[in-house]
Amino acid sequence: MMILEADRLAITFGGVRAIDGVSISIPCGQVFSIIGPNGSGKTTLINLVSGIYTPQDGSIRLAGDTVTGLAPDQLARRGLSRTFQNLQIFSRMSVLENVMVGRHRHERTGILADLLHWPSVGRQNEATREAAHTALARVGLAVVAERPAGSLDYGALKRLEIARALASEPMVLLLDEPAAGCNPVETQEIDRVIRSIVKEGITVVLVEHDMRLVMNISDRVHVLARGRTLAEGTPEQVRSNAEVIEAYLGVHGSQEAAHALD
């Protein structure tokens, strides 16, 4: 079953077709990676799928329902969450509180109850706190739960974003360059976290530059170049695709590119 489908998506920015007729079909419970050279439209595609941009053409289906044009919060309530390439941390809040916000779509209290602190709010807070702790433990951040989020190092913040999105219990999780700027040890940790997420049946859509991570972990890889689909297939198929190699470093650098893709 396809959990997330995009059909001939297109969007133009200032006369440039940033995404030009891209279709993707993502099977449930897999790791689906989107790769491509800088400026190929990876992040634009993710922004379209997560509702941050509205496509000018094409349609998007989530778990069989057409969701084209829905806002990010509406999509989140339907079970699609994401992280950001440039971190979007709630830096005034503690690490735990950041993840507690991730529970928002599961919290059932009204504004009046919140103001009067009805018993239901206390119970809700406890349940939220507990679920947030669990999510933090999964990415190995339980020990820093009470620290201000702004005090964590870069690699930890990357994992905090994943924990926050996980806390919302999504069906589909979009990770926008989770390993960017991470050292090899931190990348290993991201690898481990992604594997544990998929084991739970959550579909992961991964946009990533770290080819070793992509090739290790993906079930399918979709390659973009200049806003269009260049190739799609298993990591092995993509790695040996001449067009992909050429797109990455040009004909002259194809040796290097082949090496980079290995």
Partner 1 sequence: MSLRALLEARLLPVILVVAIVIVLPLFFPSAYYYRIGALVFIFALAVVGLNLLMGFAGQVSLGHAGFLGIGAYSVAIGPVQFGAPSWLCLFVGAILSGAVAFAVGRPILKLKGHYLAVATLGFGLLVAIVLTNEAGWTGGPDGMNVPPLMLFGWRVHGSDVWYWLAGATFVGGFMLALNLMESPTGRALQAIHDSEIAARVLGIDVARKKVTIFIISAMYASVAGSFLALFNGLITPDVAGFLGSIELVAMVVLGGMGSIFGSLVGAAVLVVLPQVLTVFHEYEQALLGLIVMVFMIFLRQGIVPSIAAVLNGWRK
Measured from the CB atom, the residue of 148 and 181 that comes closer to partner 1 is 148
Least Cα distance to 89 among 3, 27, 42, 153 occurs for 153
Q: Which stretch in 104-112, 135-143, 200-208, 224-232 sits in contact with partner 1 by CB under 8 A? A: 104-112
Report, in Å, the least distance between residue 44 CB and partner 1: 15
Within residues 115-134, the interface with partner 1 by CB under 8 A covers 115-117, 121, 124-125, 128
Closer by beta carbon to partner 1, 7 or else 107 = 107
93 binds partner 1 per the rule CB under 8 A: yes
Q: Mark out the alpha helices in the chain (DSSP H runs).
A: 42-49, 72-77, 95-102, 111-116, 119-138, 154-167, 184-199, 211-217, 235-239, 242-249, 254-261
Question: Is 59 one of the binding residues for partner 1 (CB under 8 A)?
Answer: no
Token representation of residue 37: 């050279």
Structure tokens at 142: 């339980």
Give all strands (DSSP E) within 162-247, no chain letters: 172-176, 203-207, 220-225, 228-233
Interaction pattern, residues 135-164, with partner 1; x per rule: CB under 8 A: -----------------------------x
Interface stretch with partner 1, choices 54-62, 108-116, 207-215, 232-240 (CB under 8 A): 108-116
Establish if 40 lies at the interface with partner 1 (CB under 8 A): no
Which one, 105 or 228, has the nearer CB to partner 1?
A: 105
Region binding partner 1 by CB under 8 A among candidate stretches 18-26, 106-114, 198-206, 250-258: 106-114
Q: Single out the residue of 36, 103, 153 nearest to residue 22, CA to CA.
A: 36
The two structure tokens encoding residue 138? 């999964």
Tell me if 111 contacts partner 1 by CB under 8 A.
yes
Burial (Cβ within 10 Å: 0-12, 13-18, ≥19) of residue 72? middle
Cα dihedral across residues 122, 125, 127, 129: positive or negative:
negative
Binding of partner 1 by 226 (CB under 8 A): no
Q: In the set 22, 45, 100, 223, which binds partner 1 (CB under 8 A)?
A: 100
Token pair of 151, please? 């005090």
Nearer to partner 1, 73 or 256 (CB): 73
Long-range contacts of 110-115 (CB under 8 A, 24+ apart): none
Structure tokens at 134: 């669990």
Of 244, 240, 243, 179, the residue nearest 206 (C-alpha): 179
- Is 44 near partner 1 (CB under 8 A)? no
Binding site for partner 1 (CB under 8 A): 50, 52, 71-73, 75-77, 81-82, 84, 88-93, 97, 100-102, 104-105, 107, 109, 111, 113-117, 121, 124-125, 128, 164-165, 168
